[in-house]
């Protein structure tokens, strides 16, 4: 007997409200994310990349700063590359909540009409970007790792797909603004330049009581959560550590260097350390000045998350380990000898003493 298949409704795409003149949309807007008056580093990284896009488009680079007591960030955004900063500073914006923040964003976008809107692919950025894109309505490319513009002023937002096997470039041809969130640690912030000048435009919050439907009673910081994104030094360990105790060695070295501990997914999946320490495709993308990869083989899913580190030091007993291909310094040997020796050397140097004698003779590659 033939099965009765219900008729599908035709898909209806997003429709712009009436005749819209897209040519009036101009410039690139970066939404600066902050918490307690401190900007997320991804915001400055995005401003650096957006500066390049704005130059290519011959259009202004704008930034939007929202929060309470955040005027210093508006000036900072100018030092970091913005030409014009919209500042919405109000006690109602002390803590992030989707509705009031998206109302302010929507007001700025509708009034100043940027052709491109970018924000960090953080928890907050993903939430906010989705809310705004739905209201405008326009498309949104999430979690981009490459951004460019073509000769038709279209944003080319690329992101890994199919377990990093492909890079998908996504365009939003029909609507403005073209929106994308971008991964932290991928783009480079511009050097801070205090001589840069720009315009700061105060934006009143104009919130209605129904826009503030939720009340934040208390904000509890999760203690012990590692901040990989902003770390200058990361000492990361993998399966080669052999168990959770191995991470104690890494923690000692990280403490001496003022850094934090990272991990491969193998170590996380084995339950040796929490997921917030994971670096890589399904963890955090990082960009520290110094990255130690200890007992980590260098699988592509790990490498995509740390390859932009300024200096990579790999310690592995297998000279053929792929991690050595991207390392600036490679040490072949047993991590259980090498890591304590490095920690001791750092301690002695900090104490002003001479170099210790090596406990083994590792081979450098």
Ligand X SMILES: Cc1cc2nc3c(=O)[nH]c(=O)nc-3n(C[C@H](O)[C@H](O)[C@H](O)COP(=O)(O)OP(=O)(O)OC[C@H]3O[C@@H](n4cnc5c(N)ncnc54)[C@H](O)[C@@H]3O)c2cc1C
Under the rule (CB under 6 A), what is the footprint of ligand X?
Answer: 163, 238-240, 264-267, 278-283, 295-297, 299, 301-302, 305, 315-318, 321, 334-336
Q: Are 230 and 281 in contact (CB under 8 A)?
A: no
State in angstroms the smallest separation of the CB of 159 from ligand X. 14
Rounded to an integer, what distance in angstroms lies between the CA atom of residue 359 and that of residue 335? 12
State in angstroms the smallest separation of the CB of 336 from ligand X. 6
Nearer to ligand X, 45 or 297 (CB): 297
Nearer to ligand X, 135 or 317 (CB): 317
Phi, psi of 55 (to 5 degrees): -60, -40
State in angstroms the smallest separation of the CB of 44 from ligand X. 24
Helix (H, G, I), strand (E, B) or coil at 215: coil
Nearer to ligand X, 212 or 299 (CB): 299
Nearer to ligand X, 177 or 262 (CB): 262
State in angstroms the smallest separation of the CB of 270 from ligand X. 9
Rounded to an integer, what distance in angstroms lies between the CA atom of residue 315 and that of residue 266? 17
C-alpha 207, offset from chain centre: 29
Nearer to ligand X, 278 or 309 (CB): 278
Rounded to an integer, what distance in angstroms lies between the CA atom of residue 1 and that of residue 5? 12
CA distances from residue 269 to 12, 291, 303, 350 in whole angstroms, order as listed? 42, 21, 17, 35
State in angstroms the smallest separation of the CB of 313 from ligand X. 13
Nearer to ligand X, 88 or 342 (CB): 342
State in angstroms the smallest separation of the CB of 152 from ligand X. 34
């Amino acid at each position: 007997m033939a099965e009765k298949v219900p008729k599908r409704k035709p898909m209806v795409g997003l429709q712009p409200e009436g005749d819209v003149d897209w040519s009036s949309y101009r410039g690139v807007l970066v939404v600066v994310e902050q918490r307690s008056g401190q900007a997320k580093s991804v915001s400055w990284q995005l401003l650096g990349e957006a500066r390049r896009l704005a130059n290519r488009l011959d259009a202004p680079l704008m930034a939007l700063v929202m929060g309470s007591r955040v005027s210093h960030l508006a000036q900072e955004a100018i030092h970091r590359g913005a030409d014009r900063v919209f500042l919405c500073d109000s006690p109602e914006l002390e803590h992030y909540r989707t509705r009031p923040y998206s109302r302010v964003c929507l007001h700025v976008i509708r009034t100043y009409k940027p052709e491109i809107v970018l924000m960090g692919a953080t928890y907050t950025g993903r939430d906010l970007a989705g809310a705004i894109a739905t209201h405008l309505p326009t498309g949104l490319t999430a979690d981009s790792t490459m951004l460019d513009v073509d000769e038709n002023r279209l944003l080319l937002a690329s992101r890994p797909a199919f377990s990093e096997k492909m890079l998908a470039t996504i365009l939003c041809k029909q609507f403005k603004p073209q929106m994308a969130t971008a991964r932290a640690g991928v783009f480079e912030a511009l050097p801070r330049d205090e001589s840069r000048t720009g315009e700061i435009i105060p934006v009143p919050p104009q919130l209605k009581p129904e826009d503030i439907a939720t009340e934040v009673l208390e904000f509890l910081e999760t203690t012990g959560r590692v901040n990989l994104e902003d770390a200058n030094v990361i000492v990361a360990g993998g399966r080669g550590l052999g168990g959770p105790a191995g991470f104690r060695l890494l923690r000692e070295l990280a403490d001496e260097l003022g850094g934090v501990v990272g991990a491969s997914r193998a170590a996380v999946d084995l339950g040796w350390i929490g997921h917030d320490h994971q670096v890589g495709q399904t963890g955090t993308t990082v960009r520290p000045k110094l990255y130690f990869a200890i007992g980590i083989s260098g699988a592509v899913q790990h490498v995509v998350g740390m390859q932009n580190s300024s200096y990579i030091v790999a310690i592995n007993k297998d000279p053929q380990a792929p991690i050595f291909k991207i390392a600036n310094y490679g040490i072949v040997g047993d991590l259980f000898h090498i890591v304590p020796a490095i920690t001791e050397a750092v301690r002695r140097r900090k104490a002003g003493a001479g170099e210790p004698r090596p406990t083994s003779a590792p081979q450098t590659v």
